[in-house]
Amino acid sequence: MKLRTIIAGTVAAITIGTVGAANAATVVIEKPHKTIVMKERGRFVGHRHFIARERVVEVVRGRNIEVIGDPYMYRGVYVVKCRDRAGRIAFCRINPRTGAFLGINVRL
């Protein structure tokens, strides 16, 4: 059993060496029965670029919608409280990476 673990660790080390030192997001998981080498695809890996909150306000105002509150992140999108063109309270959704207007939800 020890020999298998040593061999699996050696194979994992060689695999990481061939992938390259530049790939810092590689994860090695060693379990008693196998060794897993994979790229990290978690939520906080790397630097994800989001648009600024000021840009969110500009996008919403560009559609003639009055902004009431500050933008915040909710379920992966920017959400801002606003009034639509008819004066009703609503919530606008903005894509945090591209700045695209995703829609407006009117509260009834």
**Higher pLDDT pick, 69 / 30:** 69
HSE-CB at 2 with a 13 A cutoff on CA atoms is: 0
Could you tell me if 29 and 70 lie in one domain? Answer: no
Could you tell me if 98 and 70 lie in one domain? Answer: yes
Residue type, 46: G
State the Cα–Cα distance between residues 57 and 12, nearest whole angstrom: 48
Question: What range defines the domain where residue 17 resides?
Answer: 2-39
Say if 44 falls within a structural domain.
no
Say if 101 falls within a structural domain.
yes
* pLDDT one-digit tens code per residue, 35-91: 777 665 555 445 568 888 899 999 999 998 999 999 999 988 999 999 988 888 999
Residue that the structure tokens 């009431």 belong to = 68
State the CATH number of the domain containing residue 81.
Answer: 3.10.450
- Angle value at C-alpha 79, between 77 and 82, nearest 5 degrees: 155
> In the structure encoding, which two tokens stand for residue 6, read together?
């040593």
Question: What confidence score (pLDDT) does residue 51 get?
Answer: 87
Single out the residue of 34, 85, 89 nearest to residue 63, CA to CA: 85
- Angle value at C-alpha 76, between 73 and 77, nearest 5 degrees: 60
**Higher pLDDT pick, 63 / 15:** 63
Question: What confidence score (pLDDT) does residue 37 get?
Answer: 73
Say if 24 falls within a structural domain.
yes
